[in-house]
Chains A and B, each alone.
Chain A
Amino acid sequence: MEFRLRLKPWCCLVIATIGVVQFSMPATDRLSDQRCPDANPVAFVGRTGIRSLSKLKRAEIRQVLGVIGKLLVANNPTDLEDPGEFGDLARQVAEVKTRKELQALLVPYVLLQVKINPESRVKISPSGSEVMRDKVKLEKDVANRFLLQVDNHAGVTSTLNISAIDLSLQPPQTADWITAIVVNEDGISSKMSGQKIEYLVVELLAKESGLKEVRLVGDAGQGTQDLGFRATADLLIDVK
């Protein structure tokens, strides 16, 4: 099942579509050489769209919209063909009324669910979404970004780390054909906020093509402390 987020020319065309007139978030490094100079989905959906929500929800949705922006600008930023997908997503996110609706909207974009229990133990598991179930499709040498849904019962604010292990090596060790990093750049942090639910962004970059398997391991600054493979998720990756 293919899963790849392509950057649509959302930052230009969606502006026209929904009539937003101003961006306010400064460009990221990654965006600096792009044609569309700004990437603030909060701006492009308009502030009135989220005005009716509670303070907590507004903050939550702004965080999600910021995260979505990071997905968009990263995934194939040169594709100017189709403006629709992320504009629609951002607009829908801005209109949600409940956290449950928000989570449901984002399910297809979540690579991993990260749960941090009250003792700060990290559990990660592949997303329940159908598009992630069989294999994740990547393009060689293209950074692909996905969401991490973080369910933080410990309220910790440490950095979330994701590392990639190649089990086919003897002994298993850090994969040399793929890197996995939790994105930490302007507007998005790899540090958790302590909110019970938040979204972070993970970036996968494959350097070799072919069907491969990777073990992603999560930790929240205390090592994996893994028991029963709770902090690992084994994914099949199809790299074109």
Chain B
Amino acid sequence: MENINSLHLIRCLIISLLMSLCNHALQSQEPGKAEEPLAVPVQPLLSHVHRLSEAMEIVGRPLTEKAMQQIAEIKKVDNPGQVLMEVQNLFDPFCIAIVDVAQTGAPKVSRGPASPKLLEQGWRTFLVKVINRHGRTGRLFVESPNAQPLPNAPVSEVDKRWMQISSYDGQPLRPNLSGLAVEYRIVQIFSRDAGSKEAVLEFTVSGDANGDDALIREWRFDEDEDGWNAMNQIKVDAKDGSLQIESTGDDPFMGAEVVSRGGGFVLRFWAKTDVVGIGQLFWWTKDIPYATGNRQTNFILEPNKEHLYEVPFHVEGELAGVRLDPLVKPGKMRIDWIDLHSQQRNENWAQLETEFQCEASTPVTFRVFDEKGLPAFAKFEVRDSEGRIYPAQSKRLAPDFFFQRHIYRGDGEVLSLPPGQYTITCSRGPETLPEVQSLTVGAEPKELLYRVRRWIDPSKAGWWSGDHHIHGAGCLHYNNPTEGVSPEDMMRHIMGEDLKVGCSLTWGPCFDFQKQFFTGDVAPESQYPYLLRYDIEVSGFGSHMSGHLNLLNLKNQIYPGGDSKDHWPTLGLSTLKWAKRQGAVCGPAHSSIGLTSFIGRLPDTEGKDGDNLLPNFQIPAYDGIGANEFIVDVTHRVPGADGKLVSAVDFISTMNSDRIAEWNMWYHVLNAGLRVAASGETDFPCMSGERVGIGRVYAHVDGRLTFDKWVQSIADGRSYVSDGFTHLIDYRASAADGKQVVDVGVNGSELKLEQPKRVRFSAKVAALYGRQESDSPVHQKVELIVNGYPVQSVDVNCDGSLKDVTFEIPLVKSCWVAVRAFPNAHTNPIYVVIDEEPIIGSVDSVRWCLAGVEQCWKAKEPFYAKSELNEARAAYRHARLFYQRLLDEHAR
């Protein structure tokens, strides 16, 4: 916004003349119907002016002291006509448009006197003058087709969608027009680009008695939920005139029926949440009456403030309902109102074509060095003094992801920023110490220097971080303008999080596009020690209904009999047999899904639940896509690459879903004598779009890191799972006499004893949360777990230092033993075999597994293809017999 300068008087005269001409022009548009002169009561007009000055300060463009002095002078004027004139003289120069609201229909719109100057990557604030002779009290909407979001935009639209426009309706302004004959509204416009840019600004007044018919449905919550129903992992309650929403899981959603012909719509709602991330909008139609993955769009949450969300979407067919996934994680949101508008512009919309001049912003070069001084990538969250994020999220395409607030930049890369003050949070994954830098950007190019400081480096001891489940075309990515993102983009994110290994899994969406990146080896874009490999997640096709499967280290990515995804078997075990035959490393994904609702409790287990409900004996419903058929598959041995029998399942995925449910399943199968490892995953960006490596695994590799060695360590359980902030390194067991030492994952993780002995378990433990998370723990409880129950524990200071932790216990029977730092990290187990007796940790666990097989069959049978039913029955029968045999043996 331009300042008032010393030529103010001359400007006032010119503006008065322009205003007269403008008013004349407006009046002359209706020949024969001369408009009466504008008359506005002085008191409410001056109150509005005062609130406007307050609001301009809030949006970061306060009026100059001189302008504030002028307001003070205007308040002393007695003559109402003069007050109005002087108010207009003061504020009209800031107006990008003048909107003359008609009694009904479209307003008349003309260009205001404000200079149409914008700033590349920056926001500019303008006013819109509203002439409201008819006292309309609806809401003024200012939109633009050039402000449509880029994610999911057709390629042809990418260039046109260069701007972002935002109306400020918050306190101390009101969302609706006051009804005064003259008032001003605030709009802010962002430009993605530099140079001369054309835009169409669109205006309408809606929501009052004379409003347009673009309003399809408005939901208000003064009396009840007004048709919104909780559908999954969500509580919805109308309270205090608002819809109070509480998400209880990672996939919360609610829905409402609404009928309209298809076309373009925009769902607007006024909401507040303290959650960072994104929300999603799905819709369904009369012919396909349920939400589907290809009919959804995303929106970016603006945490810790009230915000007007505007979510455009396009419906093919007749709209029958909308589903709002307000958050994708546990948290709360308050929604004050929801409106659904048609985006099909009708006669109630007016358009104003405007050419903007967008000044180039200033290049800021990132200088990024790792702890050795070598050029590196890192993560940066860039905010201006108003807290706004750069680059603007809605204008991002890869390599910057619109659903993240941060970006990743490597040494020498450039980000253009408008002049101003910035706060930049720099980090490089959980093993580093984040730091916050202040940056003042002026007209001259600038450099930002970030030297990575670590608090830990497990790779020095041979423990290499990885995330076995990320996507280049995940839930939050887009199908347009590209089908997901490229390997180069994924590498940038992997390196920026210092994640040594990333397994980018091709799945349902964009399968036939993303499959081109599979090479049967690490991707050529890999940059040692950062390795990227494309493999498969069975998800959205094949056996996905019985539980998604991660298939790692495949040699062939397509199941025999086709070249895509629609011919795959519906029985997960069949897929596993195929994958294991080629030497793949396999396990279920997002394990807790389907294990968090229960059909009842295993009889005679009251009082047997452990700390943190680990283990517990609730019988899951097996009604989801996590480790469900796993309870069957884990009992099977199938031919491996060399034809010898190997376990059908190598690992269970952990660290990205309900921790109790995923670890509970793991504990029970271990207690049934099955040796299966835990691995860590994120399922980025489906379970979380925050970053890759939220859930991760640290696998030990001898010598130089290779993917083959790393993934074999996953299968061998030579690893620990972690959130990256707690580490359990070098876990080992030794008989107290020191004669036998077993490192986790080596030689089958098995410590063989001829007789009961005292056994020492040790690990190097470190944790640091204080500088990364606001609700961080001061101590981390580290427990020794025997057959699922803690037997000893020690508190470790979360100060980042590596501490030797040792437990020593007498063992009298075969068992599995691991170290746990709930809920942040867990080692894989060491199996202590005494006198060659098999490990049966708990008969109740075996009973729990057997009950799980029965329930899983009930839940999954409908999803198996008829042609595979016999095979499925046989697979389940095998599992039943396996667990029953254990019970029988124990009874004997």
Contacts and interface: CB of A to CB of B under 8 A. Distances in A.
Given A134-B179, A167-B50, A228-B171, A100 B43 contact: no
B884 interface: no
B47 A170 contact: no
Interface in B775-805: none
B69 to A, nearest CB: 10
A236 B51 CA distance: 13
B222 A213 contact: no
Interface string A153-181: 00000000000001111111000000000
B47 A215 contact: yes
A19 interface: no
Contacts of B50: 167-168, 172
B241 A170 contact: no
B179 A169 contact: no
B47 A107 contact: no
**At the interface, is chain B mostly helix, strand, loop or mixed?**
mixed
B72 A170 contact: yes
B41 A210 contact: yes
Interface string A210-240: 1111110000000000001110101010000
B76 interface: yes
Contacts of A107: 222-223, 241
A84 interface: no
B268 interface: no
A213 B43 contact: yes
Nearest to A110: B241
Contacts of A170: 71-72, 75-76
A212 B75 contact: no
A56 interface: no
B137 interface: yes
B178 A168 contact: no
Contacts of A167: 46-47, 50-51
B524 to A, nearest CB: 52
Nearest to A175: B43
Contacts of A228: 58, 171
A234 B241 contact: no
A151 interface: yes
Nearest to B177: A134
B421 to A, nearest CB: 20
Interface residues of A, number: 33
A114 to B, nearest CB: 10
Contacts of A113: 240-241
B375 interface: no
Q: Which of B71, B171, B238 has the most C-beta atoms of chain A within 10 angstroms of its own C-beta?
A: B171
A212 B47 CA distance: 9
Contacts of A214: 47
B270 to A, nearest CB: 11
Contact of A168 (B47, B239, B240): B47
Nearest to B54: A229
Contacts of B71: 170
B72 A168 contact: no
B719 to A, nearest CB: 44
A71 to B, nearest CB: 19
A211 B468 CA distance: 66
A236 B176 CA distance: 12
B859 interface: no
B171 to A, nearest CB: 4
B58 A128 contact: no
Interface string A110-144: 00010100000000000111000111000000000
Contact of A229 (B76, B171, B336): B171
A21 interface: no
Contacts of A166: 43, 47
Interface in B39-64: 41-48, 50-51, 54, 58
B134 to A, nearest CB: 13
Nearest to A172: B50
B75 A169 contact: yes
B41 to A, nearest CB: 5
Contacts, number: 78
A228 B51 CA distance: 12
A104 B48 CA distance: 31
Interface string B9-48: 0000000000000000000000000000000011111111
Interface string A58-78: 000000000000000000000
B174 interface: yes
Contacts of A128: 220, 222, 241, 336
B529 interface: no
Interface size band for B: 20 to 34
B331 interface: no
Contacts of A212: 41, 43-44, 47
Given A230-B171, A234-B174, A213 B44 contact: yes
Nearest to B138: A134
B224 interface: yes
A168 B180 CA distance: 15
Given A168-B75, A170-B72, A211-B44, A234 B222 contact: no
Contacts of B220: 128
A127 B240 CA distance: 9
A29 B544 CA distance: 75
A235 to B, nearest CB: 10
B458 interface: no
A230 B58 CA distance: 13
Nearest to A211: B41
A234 B42 contact: no
Given A172-B50, A228-B171, A229-B171, A236 B178 contact: yes
Nearest to A212: B43
A126 to B, nearest CB: 8
Contacts of B336: 128
Contacts of B172: 229, 232, 234
Contact of A234 (B51, B76, B137, B179): B51
Nearest to A129: B222
B174 A168 contact: no
Residue of A128, A151, A228, A234 with highest tally of chain B CB at under 10 A: A234
A232 to B, nearest CB: 7
A210 B44 CA distance: 10
Contacts of A134: 137, 176, 179
A212 B180 CA distance: 10
Contact of B240 (A151, A229, A234, A236): A151
Interface in B323-363: 336
A107 B43 CA distance: 29
Contacts of B224: 100, 104
A171 B53 CA distance: 13
Interface in A27-61: none
A213 B238 contact: no
A228 B54 CA distance: 10
A133 B41 contact: no
Given A104-B223, A228-B171, A234 B75 contact: no
A129 B48 CA distance: 22
Q: Which of B44, B72, B178 has the most CB of A within 10 A?
A: B44
Contact of B47 (A115, A127, A133, A213): A213
Contacts of A236: 44, 178-179
Interface of A: 100, 103-104, 107, 113, 115, 127-129, 133-135, 149, 151, 166-172, 210-215, 228-230, 232, 234, 236
Interface of B: 41-48, 50-51, 54, 58, 71-72, 75-76, 137, 171-172, 174, 176, 178-179, 220, 222-224, 238-241, 336
Given A168-B46, A229-B171, 16 more contacts: A100-B239, A104-B224, A107-B223, A113-B241, A128-B241, A149-B240, A166-B43, A168-B42, A168-B44, A168-B50, A170-B71, A170-B75, A210-B41, A211-B44, A212-B44, A229-B172
Nearest first, the 10 closest Cβ-Cβ pairs linking A and B are A128-B241, A168-B46, A213-B47, A229-B171, A167-B47, A170-B75, A167-B50, A213-B44, A104-B223, A134-B137
10 contacts: A100-B239, A107-B222, A128-B220, A167-B50, A167-B51, A168-B42, A212-B44, A213-B47, A213-B48, A230-B171
